[in-house]
């Protein structure tokens, strides 16, 4: 008689190991620290999306209230406030707007508005009303490593772009 040596793994054992490895990867990868450049990219895209969302929300709301973005160039400060029916500002009721769109470690390098020029310090208020953003706005975000992303918001159309690099003129 010929005897066969049946050593090795069965297909089911291999599949089970692959499933376990996949589950561990799903738990571990989101908890890994992200890089400065990735945080910068996410911050720029989140800020652009937030500006679009503010414009859409203001245009579709029944009240005549609006929003404004408080920016402090040179710092990480980006805050969204809602203008109530009485004209006073308050914390937004929408939970999506209550946290800063800019991740920790990302600074607002400067803001450029044609009627004001380049603002590099202090506080700046960008109004978002029923008609959208009043002026063309360019916001430059900088990572701790010195990389830049640019967010451009165009008036009366709702168009907002997030572009890699330090860009001063619209493409």
On whether the CB atoms of residues 97 and 89 are closer than 8 A, the answer is no
CA distance 138 to 44: 11
Give the mean model confidence (pLDDT) for residues 100-106: 89
pTM: 0.76
Going from the C-alpha of 169 to that of each of 128, 139, 166, the distances in angstroms are 21, 12, 10
pLDDT band at 4 (very low <50, low <70, confident <90, very high): low
| pLDDT digits 0-9 by tens, 74-84 | 898 899 988 87
Give the mean model confidence (pLDDT) for residues 46-63: 84
Q: In the CATH scheme, what is the code of domain 36-164?
A: 3.55.40.10
Residues forming beta bridges with residue 10, ordered by sequence position = none
| pLDDT digits 0-9 by tens, 11-23 | 999 999 999 999 9
| pLDDT digits 0-9 by tens, 110-140 | 999 988 889 888 898 888 877 778 889 999 9
Q: Which residues, 6 or more positions from 105, have their beta carbon under 8 angstroms from its beta carbon?
A: 36, 39, 76, 143, 144
């Amino acid at each position: 008689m010929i005897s066969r040596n049946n050593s090795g793994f069965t297909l089911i054992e291999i599949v089970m190991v692959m499933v376990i490895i996949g589950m561990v990867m799903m738990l571990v990868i989101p908890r890994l620290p992200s890089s400065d450049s990735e945080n910068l990219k996410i911050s720029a895209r989140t800020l652009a999306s937030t500006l679009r969302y503010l414009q859409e929300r203001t245009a579709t709301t029944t009240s005549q209230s609006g929003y404004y973005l408080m920016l402090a160039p040179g710092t990480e400060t980006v805050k969204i406030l809602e203008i109530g029916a009485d004209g006073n500002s308050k914390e937004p009721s929408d939970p999506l707007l209550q946290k800063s769109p800019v991740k920790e470690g990302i600074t607002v390098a400067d803001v450029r508005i044609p009627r004001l020029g380049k603002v590099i310090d202090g506080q700046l208020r960008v109004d978002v009303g029923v008609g959208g953003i009043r002026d063309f706005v360019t916001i430059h975000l900088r990572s701790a490593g010195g990389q830049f992303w640019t967010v451009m918001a165009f008036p009366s159309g709702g168009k907002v772009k997030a572009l890699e690099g330090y860009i001063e003129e619209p493409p």
